[in-house]
Amino acid sequence: MPALTLTLVGGPTALLEYGGLRLLTDPTFDPPRTYERDAAPTLRKLAGPALTAEQIGDVDAVLLSHDHHEDNLDEGGRAFLPRAELTVPLLADLLALDDAGFRQVFAGSPIKRIGRDRMVRNCLIAAGNSGDAALVEPVRRLLEDSDPAVAEAAEWALERLGPATSRPRAG
């Protein structure tokens, strides 16, 4: 089993490396400064990152907890985003991937190794846990997926999204 390496960059920013996959959380690369904001408390960044964006290098994906203010995505972090292979993908878009689309999106990425079916199954679990009613239709389309694990995960996700959304059980 590959080892997980966690590198704390500073503040909310961390680099996670596992099995060749590189994920960066909440990129903040600005030096210490003050962020003046309209009708909101002033934010003061007291320390810069331990590593620069250049030292981080390329990543496979950026995970953002939120982006409404600079404590989780500052100007340096926004400049870094285009370097990520996959930045803030919409769950509905990931659920819509067929095998060819999956291979195209994840070509050259370690994510490709898990394959479309396992990726979509994992996205269905995220969809079911999200509580987001907008995902009901993308999830419903996967009820008849050719992979039984995907179809079963779709049924589970619909049940989690609300009892009225799942299909009636046979028998």
For 4-43, the pLDDT digits (tens) are 999 999 989 999 998 888 999 999 999 999 988 777 788 8
- Same domain as 142, residue 62: no
The count of domains in the chain is: 2
Whether the per-residue pLDDT at 141 is higher than 70: the answer is: yes
- Same domain as 108, residue 37: no
The pTM of the full predicted model, rounded to 2 decimals, is 0.54
Identify the domain boundary among 54, 73, 88.
Answer: 88
- The amino acid that residue 112 corresponds to is K
pLDDT at res. 69: 76
Rounded (10°) angle between helices 148-161 and 115-130: 10
Q: What percent of the chain has pLDDT over 90?
A: 50
- Tell me which residue range forms the domain holding 171: 89-171
- Same domain as 102, residue 81: no
- Same domain as 113, residue 78: no
In this structure, what CATH number is given to the domain that contains residue 127?
1.25.10.10
- Same domain as 58, residue 34: yes
- Same domain as 80, residue 61: yes
Is the Cα torsion angle 154, 156, 161, 165 positive or negative in sign?
A: positive
Helical spans, DSSP H, in the chain:
53-56, 75-80, 91-95, 99-105, 115-130, 136-140, 148-161
- Same domain as 164, residue 135: yes
pLDDT at res. 113: 83
Other CB atoms within 10 A of residue 67 CB: 13
Identify the domain boundary among 63, 88, 113.
Answer: 88
55 confidence band (pLDDT: 50, 70, 90)? very high
Token pair for residue 50? Answer: 């331990």
Identify the domain boundary among 88, 105, 139.
Answer: 88
